């Protein structure tokens, strides 16, 4: 009986992740353009034809349509199935780590917001306040009602997360004579801190800086990017947060073992 419940939970959460991922694609496309995420219905950005339900099935429709619009045959961005798959996979991993708990519910909400933010930042080099600012408030308010994080821990997460990025950004601006960190990065770190607390946000940012530096070196050495090119930092904060979310306690135990 236990295994049946486990399998059903895995299937339901994975499917939910795919569906939310499909909606996340709408947010990723429309939020930077200041368009409603509700109206009009999903449509092809090239020919504006409304996408029918059977052409809007996560992952499956992209495969069946061979990555092209049914009507105008224009190419559909690979981002759409990637976001759907990543969201479904993230939901699954969160469930496997935290089980059927309130943490799983809270963390799938956080992860959905982070995936949307990461792809918007990748595409547009902006982190929308419409997600991060309400996220700070929501994360802090939730801390009053859940047993795994105190409101003090959440508040410290906001201050320390946003503060670290702010200080590094100000120092970088003085040293390099140009903006080193955007205000969006500050608010993103504060939002993550509100949900994860001060310990996890420190680990998330450390991993984010490490992965960002590593990616920057690789991109410059491979001549994909130049030294003066802007590389958005938001996706690396998000990636560091996911690693911390999945393996944070193991990372802390490993560190304390030294």
Instruction: Using pLDDT thresholds of 50, 70 and 90, give the confidence band for residue 4.
Output: confident
Identify which has the larger pLDDT, 178 or 52: 52
Q: Which two tokens stand for residue 39?
A: 């109206």
Find all residues with CB under 8 Å of 89, minimum gap 6, and list them. Answer: 14, 17
Helices (H), the chain: 2-30, 60-64, 79-98, 102-124, 129-142, 151-176, 183-221, 234-256
Give exposure, 78-116, as e/b (b: 16+ Cβ within 10 Å).
eebbbbbbbbbebbbbbbebbeeeebbebbbbbbbbbbb
pLDDT in tens, 128-165: 999 999 999 999 999 999 999 999 999 999 999 999 99
pLDDT at 211: 95
- Sign of the CA dihedral with 178 first, then 184, 188, and 189 last: positive
**Does the structure show a pLDDT above 90 at 5?**
no
pLDDT in tens, 188-202: 999 999 999 999 999
**Torsion of the alpha carbons at 218, 219, 223 and 227, rounded to the nearest 10:** -110
Distance CA 128, CA 122 (A): 12
* Model confidence, pTM: 0.93
> Contact, 75 vs 67, CB < 8 A?
yes
C-beta atoms surrounding 251 within 10 Å? 17
Distance CA 188, CA 186 (A): 5
Distance CA 163, CA 144 (A): 22
């Amino acid at each position: 009986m236990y295994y049946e419940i486990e399998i059903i939970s895995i299937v339901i959460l994975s499917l939910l992740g795919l569906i939310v991922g499909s909606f996340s694609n709408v947010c990723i496309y429309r939020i930077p353009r200041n368009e409603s995420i509700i109206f009009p219905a999903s449509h092809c950005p090239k020919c504006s034809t409304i996408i029918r339900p059977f052409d809007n099935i996560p992952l499956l429709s992209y495969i069946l349509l061979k990555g092209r619009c049914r009507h105008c045959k224009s190419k559909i961005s690979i981002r759409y199935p990637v976001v759907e798959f990543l969201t479904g996979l993230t939901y699954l991993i969160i469930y496997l780590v935290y089980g059927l708990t309130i943490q799983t519910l809270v963390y799938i909400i956080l992860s959905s917001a982070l995936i949307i933010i990461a792809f918007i930042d990748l595409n547009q080099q902006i982190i929308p306040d419409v997600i991060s600012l309400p996220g700070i408030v929501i994360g802090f308010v939730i801390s009053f009602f859940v047993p795994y994080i105190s409101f003090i821990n959440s508040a410290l997460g906001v201050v320390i997360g946003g503060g670290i990025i702010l200080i590094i950004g100000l120092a970088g601006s003085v040293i390099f004579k140009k903006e080193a960190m955007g205000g969006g990065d500050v608010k993103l770190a504060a939002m993550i801190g509100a949900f994860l607390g001060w310990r996890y946000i420190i680990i998330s940012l450390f991993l984010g800086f490490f992965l960002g530096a590593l990616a920057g070196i690789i991109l410059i050495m491979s001549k994909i990017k130049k030294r003066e090119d802007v590389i958005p930092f938001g996706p690396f904060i998000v990636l560091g947060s996911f690693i911390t979310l999945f393996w944070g306690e193991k990372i802390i135990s490993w560190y304390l073992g030294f």
